[in-house]
Amino acid sequence: MEIASQSRLIGNSSPWVRSCVILCCCLFFILFLYWPTSAAIVSLWRTSTFSYGFLVIPVSVYLIWTRRDRLRLLPPTLTFWAVPALLLLGFGWLLAHLAAIEVVQQFCLVAIVISLIWGVLGTAVARALLMPLAFLLFAVPFGEVFVPKLQDFSAWFAVKALDFCGVPVLLEGRFISVPSGKWEVAQACSGIRYLTSSLAVGFLFAGLMYKTWIRRVGFLVASAVVPILANAVRVFGIVVLAHVSNNRIAAGVDHIIYGWIFFTVVMALLLTVGGWWREKSGQESDAKSSSATGANEDEHGKEKRQPSAVATVALACSSLAAVLAPFAVKFFWVPTGQSSQRFELVAPVASPPIRSTGASVISWKPEFFEPSAELKQSYEIQGQPIELYIAYYIAERPDAKLVSSANALFDRNLWSRTKEDEVDARVEGQRVHVHETFVRSSQDSLVIWSWYWVDGKYTSSDVIAKLLSVKARFLLDRRGAAFIAIAAEDRPGQVPAVEILRQFLDQISLREALTSNTG
């Protein structure tokens, strides 16, 4: 019996070697083809927030190695269903590339790698490697989109907890004021590092400790909820310690050190509780027995259907054609030539009661990434100053970052956000949702309304703006896109800034300025 088993393993070694060689060649080609996306992932690993990314691939490879005994019983097969999956993921990457959504590009690239492994090695092997392959998704540096919401929640929770403890507190945006001082829940205090690290560790723990999906999903949810709550408690604790110690404790870099110590303790408690929730040994034995039975069934049912060399090469060629198709569309259809052309925008003509002024009264200006044209024009209405800002990007620029985290609505060294919301406004007769932001400096308070102009439409949504930009590029629309913002001072005893902004939009026409550069 042992001799027969050994001969069977030797006979199965040739398909495995052939499949692995072809798989490695295809993976190297894909990584080369998508090199900018791969390099962007690695560059983000070098940051403190996503440094755990360097461990994802080695851990995944180790988990695959621990499953080598089961893989010997599962001869590689071909799954041509992976080809349409690769095609869809490739075009998903292209759409994300056109919309400049890097995190979606990166997820698509990792999913392409997983789908290729599934196609070359087969469904049975992919099912056996489900956890290591799924863990590869943590190689994508994700989560920055949640940073503002995490900041807001931590600030809100800390203020509620301080108020419950009887500490006088005032919340302005993300600034927490107590009698002993003022604290800001900055991006570094959002807890995103705790959240991403906890999710990665929680995924591994759930996959290794639990056999049932309900426990795995439950622990993964706990791995997301616990660090969010823990970070909010950390912010509250730091403010309380600083308050009761007159800023002698938890000030400066101390609060960062305390934060990591606190997070380590919380994770240890989470893993300890998760260990108590582990299935009993009898359940684990049944699951392992069922898994082994399934593996034997896969072996007997599929060992006669081992792929030939011709079929394996055909699948590899089909897969490579699928991932090359988006690049062909991008090359032949979507304009790729970079344009450095710069020009002047025409300022909208003012009519009474609006008056154009020469000098800028408000020291405010957004910072946008290399726009093709920029306009900052000062106006006055009822004796109150208004600033108009437009950042315009021509349609031919594939590197345009109209919607990007690198763009800033105001200089954070001069202004601090106190409130933001979405409000209804009328722009040239159209009802538009605009983003309303209240900011304050040491001397002035401003109300800023901002929105986008893409594909001839106005919107304040980042997602809709990106989707419209993809549509415009595919349809070769030459109108370009723009970010628009208006700001007015908010002072006691004057007409409210919100009312001034509404009057300004009722009297001004922006379309002429936005379409004056259309070829």
pLDDT tens per residue, range 88-112:
999 999 888 887 788 999 999 999 9
How far, in Å, CA of 316 to CA of 82, rounded? 10
For residue range 161-173, what is the model confidence (pLDDT) as tens digits?
999 988 898 888 8
**According to the model, what pLDDT value does residue 357 have?**
83
Does this model's pTM top 0.95? My answer is no
Q: Which residues contact 175 (CB under 8 A, 6 or more apart)?
A: 155, 182, 183, 184, 185, 416, 418
Q: Report phi then psi at 437, rounded to 5.
A: -130, 130
Q: Which regions of the chain are under pLDDT 70?
A: 1-14, 247-259, 280-307, 333-343, 396-400, 516-519
Q: Delimit the domains of the chain by residue range.
A: 2-142+280-332, 145-276, 354-515
How far, in Å, CA of 117 to CA of 123, rounded? 9
For residue range 363-396, what is the model confidence (pLDDT) as tens digits?
898 998 888 888 898 998 888 889 999 999 887 5
**According to the model, what pLDDT value does residue 211 have?**
86
Q: Give the three-class secondary structure for 429.
A: coil
Q: CA 324, 330, 334 angle in degrees (round to 5)? A: 170
**According to the model, what pLDDT value does residue 136 have?**
95
What is each CA distance from 271 to 219, 275, 276, 464, in whole angstroms? 9, 6, 9, 40
How far, in Å, CA of 274 to CA of 220, rounded? 10
Q: Assess contact for 318 and 81: CB atoms under 8 A.
A: no
